[in-house]
Amino acid sequence: MRNADGQSSVYRIELLAHQVVTAVLDLIFPPHCVNCERVGNLLCPRCLATITQAPARAVPGLDGVVVRANFEGAISTAIHAFKYDRQTRLREPLGALLCQTLRAAAWVVDVVMPVPLHTTRLHERGYNQAALLARYVAQDFDWQYVPNAIERVRDTASQVHLDAQERRENVAGAFAANPRMVCGRRVLLVDDVLTTGSTLSACADALREAGAICIYGATVAGAGYSKEADGGVPGTPA
Ligand SMILES: [Zn+2]
């Protein structure tokens, strides 16, 4: 059952149960900072204080994009752990950072969704880190979370070894959006890292085609194109 803001009551009970279990586990196994290993937080106040605000970015096809942090130092360590080391609880500090920037943007949003992860990556990783962040944001703002509104309609090569132009060509037309979920709505797309913006652009094209009236993007970190930002050491999937 769904209430007016689109969150199911089952989800709210699950969330509460999860918060209780987490609080108990934190007492038994106190969390360590992923960057400096101090005990107490997954991302400690000292490391959070080193995070620098990323400059504004314009991405073709989107009505606005906010990026919370420059991809460096503590934030790059945290995102790497979040994506590749199954540290999914980092959605809380990283999601909170994203929410700070979204509050400043003050956008009016109807539905929130993640940039879909490549199916192969999803099977390897077992979770889409962008979906964890999108759900966190939706919960915080009481916006409706629609995880499956965009899907990949064709496979794309890994972006890691491609330059900006190759990336645009690689993902052009790779996505389709469900008009029933997005038509006439203001959409927020969420991802962990913004590099060239080619994937965000391709998703925005699909959303526009399906009738979305306004498309925003939000990412935790942003970098100029670099293999490091994509976790792109050879042999590591993007
Ligand atoms: Zn720390």
- How far is ligand 1, taken at its centre, from the CA of residue 45, in Å? 7
Give the distance (Å) from ligand 1 centre to CA of residue 98: 18
Dist. CA 235 → ligand 1 center (Å) = 28
152 alpha carbon – ligand 1 mean position (Å): 37
Distance 40 CA to ligand 1 centre (A): 9
Average pLDDT for runs of 10 along the chain of length 238: 57 82 82 94 96 91 96 96 93 96 96 91 89 97 96 79 81 91 98 93 96 97 64 37
Q: How far is residue 59 from each of residues 56, 64, 65, 92, 112, measured CA to CA in Å?
A: 10, 8, 7, 26, 18
Ligand 1 centre distance from Cα of residue 76 (Å): 12
End-to-end CA distance of the chain: 36
- Rounded to the nearest whole angstrom, what is the distance from the C-alpha of residue 83 to the centroid of ligand 1? 18
Domains of the chain by start residue, with CATH:
51-222 (3.40.50.2020)
Q: What is the pLDDT of residue 18?
A: 82
